[in-house]
Structure formats: C-alpha cells, structure tokens
Structure 1
Amino acid sequence: MTYSETILEQEILDGTCAVVVTYGNRLAFVDQVLRAAFQTGVGHVVLVDNGTKSAVAENLKTIAASWGAERVTTVRLECNGGSAEGFAAGTAAAAQRMQTRHIWTLDDDTMPDPEALKALARTWRLMGENPSCCLASFRQDKRTYVKLVENNKPNAIQPNSFFGFSVQAPFQKKRVALWRAGGLECRGMEMGAYGGLWFHKEWVQRIGLPDARFFLYFDDYDYTLRITRHGGALWMCRNSVLSDLEQSWTQTPSCLHPWLQGQQGMLRPYFALRNRVFIEQNSINCKLIYNLNMILFLLVKVLCRTPRSVLYHALHPIKMTHRWCILVGAIRDGLSGNFENRILKEQ
C-alpha cells in the first residue's frame, strides 16, 4: 500500500467502535475479546453490561478501567434485556460518539483474528467507501457462514420456508453474489449475525436500533434484513475471521433436537422459534406450502431427528408433551406477532 492508502486505512480503524455485550459471569471471555479487538486496531470499545450481578459488574468496570476511559466506554443495564436490548444500547452509545464512523458488533465469545478489522477496512475501500455497504466477518464456526463459503448456499429467507426448510428449495436456487479484488473475497448475504457485523453509523439514523422486543435470537437477522431491504448491501468477508470461544447450545450432543433438550430450558427454544417464524412472515406467498414445510420440518427434523428421539418420546410422554406445548406456543406467537414475552415472567 502507498503511504496515503495506509493513512486512509488507519482512519477507518480509528473510526471503528466495537460493541461487546456480556451477561452472567463471562469475565474470561470478555477479557480475551477486548484484547483481541484492540489488537486488530479498533479505535474504541463500548462494553455493555447486560444486567450482571454486582460482583461481576465491578470486575467488568475494573477490566474497562485497565484500558482507560478514552478506549472503553461501559454501558450498564440493570436487568438482562437479552441480546436485542444489549446490542440496541451498545449501538446507540457507539453511534453517539463523534469519533465513531463504523460500528463493529461482537459477541462476548467471538474473538477476531489480528487482521480481521484491516480486511474489512481494505474491502470497504476497494468497494468504493459507500456508507450503504455493510460487511460481516467470517465466523468459521457458524454453519450458515461455512455453507455460504463452501456450498454457495444463500444466507437468506426463502419464500414459504419454515426455519429455513422448504420443499421448494431445489427449485428456488438463488445466486450468491461473489466479489474479489486485491486478494480479498466476499459473498453477498441477505442477513447476518451480530458477531462480526460492521456497518456505517449512518444506518442507525436510517433504520433505527435493533428491536428490543425480540429479546433473544434472530434480532440480528431482523436488523440486517432491515438494512438490505432499505437499499443496503451486506457482504461476508472471507478474509476477516472470527473464532467462537464457546460452542453454540444448538450443537450440544443429544439424540433430541436442541429445542427438546431439557437442559436448554424454555427460553432458548421459545425465542429462537418465535422470532424466526415472525421474520419469515413477510416471505409467505402460499399458506398451503408454508404449512406443509412447517409440518415436515417439525416431523422430520425435530420429532424424528433420530430413532432414539422417537423412543424417548414414547418413554417420556408427559415431559415431551410439555416441551412441544412450548414450541407450539412459540409458533403461534410468531405467526400472530405476539411480543408480550410472557414466558419471561413465568421463569
């Protein structure tokens, strides 16, 4: 790179404000992610304390203070509002900073490689430095991103699909846009996760903040869909790599589908299902096919996931009926757009 290009790249790095949301007691993760973020060259970090207990909150303040107020801003929520409220608060705080040009959202367990942010900055420059252009880092442990890279499977909402499943899929092939330049490679997406999302703060003025009603799961898909449906472009940058420090709850080994596993509680399955069903409503043009996809998905992918799953249902009918009632309720609330989140009060 020329001297002037180096200066421009540094300005982009300095103008990037990372938003990290944490909850519970995940201090070790937070410390690793903050160190990795600053190693990438990020200019500032907004650390959101999403309703942690007082002892953990004090430790988070200590971690933030070790970097200095000029580098880390802390935002505390008295109660855990889920990822949706956490990222909404963090995004708002980042956008309010005069120095912020881009916002880079990171989960407290997604650690960027040292060159991750530079890859985003270089890509954005080569794409023309258009504020409407948003990028996402490649999460090498996220299955949808791996399938996008290896199989060119679009990360998009297919018409009449239920949780991404559709009998029409073989006939609904969508082309994945591919961009290459300067040794960098990107693939187009319709939606993406918070972990690694990098966007110009102008988008906060254009579409607002993440919708806190979602509480958990798919609030990031909703937000990025708002971007792409309002004329923005979203590209996943293969050269900007993030690693997950913790395995997803959906990958817990079991004969049962994750939604039916007792150790997952009720909140995760409920919000994952309700929110995804709600998001898919705008893509339904044939109720008959949508209902068929729903029935087949629940029958084949969930109930009959393994032969042992069917046997487990037969041996524990009362327990499994209770779990299925949660799933049916989530689907009903998603279809009707019910965001009362009564399940939180029942815990």
Structure 2
Amino acid sequence: MRTPPPAAAAMPTAKPQRPASVQAPAAAAGQGAAGLTQPAWSGEIRGLRDELHALRQWVQSTVSSGAQAAGPVSSPMAERLQELGFSPSCAQALAVPGAKLPDALGAYLQRLDMPADPVAADGVYALVGPTGVGKTTTIAKLAARLVLRHGTSAVALITTDTYRIGGVEQLKIYGRILGVPVAVARDAKELEQHLQEFSDRRFVLIDTIGLSPRDARLAEQMQWLQGFGSRITRLLLINAGMGLGFYDELWKMYQHLPVAACILTKLDETPVFGAALQWLVEQRLALCFYTDGQRVPEDLHVPTLAKIVELLHDDTTAYHASPPAGHEPARANPGF
C-alpha cells in the first residue's frame, strides 16, 4: 500500500507581509498615535494659517498707529469751531480745556490786524477780487463813507470793468447819487490819464474787472495794476462763505500785486466764515472792512475784535434759526 501524503495542516505556511506604505509608524519621530502619516497638503494649511495670523497682527498695528496719529477725539468746542469753518487742526489748537468759545475766538483773532481807521490816508485805492464778490457795491459804500467824511470834492471813481453788462452804468448811477465823477479806463494808458485828471482829488477809487482766474483778460489787468507800483493801494475782496482751498487758489492770482488789506463781503449770506478769518491770520493780511448787505453805505463796517467774535459766536444759532423772509428783525445802522 502506498503511504498517504502529510496532512495539509502540517504543511508550513508563509506569514503575509503588510505593505510598507501602511506599516505602523508608531516608532517614527513626529508621528501621531493613530499610526497614519499627515496628508501632503497639511503643510500648506499651516502656512496659510500663519500668513493670516501675521496679516491680522499687521492690520491691528496699523489701525492702532493711525488712531494715535489722529490725536484725541474732538471736544465739543473743537467740533463747534469746525462748524464755524476753522480747519480741524486749528479747531483742536483753539479748543483749550476749560475755556469758553468767545474767549478762544478772541485769543486767536488777536493775531488778525484790524485797523481802527482804514482808508484814512489820501491816495488811490483799487478794489480787486473775483467776479460776484461785490466790488461795485462795495466801492459805492466806500465812496459814500468818504463823501460823508470829506465832501464830494474829495472823491472820484474809475472803473475798468468794461466787460460786464451794466457794470459801467451801475457805477455811474452811484456816482450821480453821490455827486462824484466817474471815468472809464479801457487800458493802462487811459487809467494813467484819469489818474492825472483826478490828481486834485484826495481819494480815487478804482473798480476793477471780475473774471475767472483762467481768463486772459484778468491777467492783463493784473499787469496794469502791477505796473503802477506803490501809486495804487490794492484791497482784495473775498467772499466770507468760502473754504480754505478756495482762498489759497484765489491768492495765487492776487498775491503778486501786492495786496495791502482785505475786505470780507457777504457776511449776511453765511454764518460760517471761520475759514476766511483763519486764512487772513495765516497770510498775515489785514482786515479793513466787512459788508453784510446791499445798503449804501450802511452795510459797510469797520471790524473790531469784539464785533467779529460776536458775529461768529451768535451766528451759529442766529442764521440756522433765521425767521421767514419778510420777518427779519430790524438792525440799527452803525453810522460812521
């Protein structure tokens, strides 16, 4: 008989091997307890997280430094001063803790030169300024003031505003009412002739053209006035309700004349004229008159520190709560 083969259980079997890629890495450095390697994109996640953290720190630092540079939060007085037209930096400087608004305004405006008796010296005065600022009406007010003081024989008027429709006629009407002569100058030669003609007059007032700063005719007339040198005193008229940027641009046109002093016009049309006063202080320009209406000569005034402070302080409520048209309270004429 043949001997049977060994049983299958007795035969040696090979132990299966685990793939290297899934062998337990517990002993490997930096491996987790789960025994699995980190995904390949996990490093990108950590990098992105670090970048976001750094960006957040940078934003926080920038916002913090910006707040420090901006300075302290505005006080109620500083906000009030900005409402009056003063720049934020100027308002912050004027808002002294514990001081009242009139006191702060008074301390600042002491730096503004306001002659007690402007246009007192004999001479030739030219009123210059942009269109619409009120030169013709203001020259009539000034002429009336001088006539009341010195008589009709002391005053003469010249206009170079031959471009505006009705400009010459308007000044001639004022001249007839005041009893003073009015001449028209179309160029520098005619202006010289009229100055010679009125050489016996104590005060000669020149009404100049008002045009856009970009108009070539305005530049031409500026050359006329510059050519007369110190023979003519130039008074620059500025609208009270404009901003610092407007005055800076305007000054580029007129600073070469040069300008002796300024007249602030149209105070009746705005309660906010702190910017004009700040600009005058910064440019060291004198304020010789201000106007607040169309009446001749009542609405031309010599400024004083107390009066300007009063106008600024009171107008914050007076103009914002103005009565209906036709019901305005009567104002006393200041006289001369």
**With structure 2 as the length reference, what TM-score do the two structures score?**
0.26
User: Larger % of helix: which?
Assistant: 1
User: Larger % of strand: which?
Assistant: 1
Larger Rg: 2
